[in-house]
């Protein structure tokens, strides 16, 4: 399976949707004010490929474990997330 976080796997239209949801441009995704919203936007965008009627709200209602499972991420999520490090 392709890396679910690889922006190269999304169409430009999908990336525009993700930017709108997250509130930052593509080159600032790592600095998104809400990492949870970024992950939800990625899941929602992938789900829409198979189910155009899926809603962002339905994805936001998922647990983090379910969301990561859907993305095919098998790593355990740390109980404490590291703070974002600004890119210089």
Q: Is residue 76 part of a domain?
A: no
Task: Give phi and psi for 73, each to the nearest 5.
Answer: -90, 120
Q: Is residue 46 part of a domain?
A: yes
Q: Is residue 82 part of a domain?
A: no
Q: Give residue 14's domain range.
A: 8-71
Residue 47 to residue 36: CA distance in whole angstroms: 16
Q: What are the pLDDT digits (tens) for 46-56?
A: 899 999 999 99
Residues 6+ apart with CB under 8 A from 37: 21, 22, 23, 60
Q: How many domains does the chain have?
A: 1
Q: How confident is the model at residue 14 (pLDDT cuts 50, 70, 90)?
A: very high
Full-model pTM = 0.71
Q: Is residue 40 part of a domain?
A: yes
Q: Is residue 79 part of a domain?
A: no
């Amino acid at each position: 399976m392709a890396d679910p976080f690889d922006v190269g796997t999304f169409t430009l239209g999908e990336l525009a949707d993700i930017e709108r949801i997250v509130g930052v441009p593509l080159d600032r995704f790592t600095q998104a004010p809400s990492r949870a919203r970024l992950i939800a936007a990625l899941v929602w965008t992938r789900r829409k490929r198979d189910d155009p009627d899926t809603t962002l709200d339905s994805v936001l209602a998922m647990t983090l474990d379910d969301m990561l499972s859907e993305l095919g991420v098998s790593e355990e999520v740390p109980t404490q997330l590291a703070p974002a490090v600004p890119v210089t």
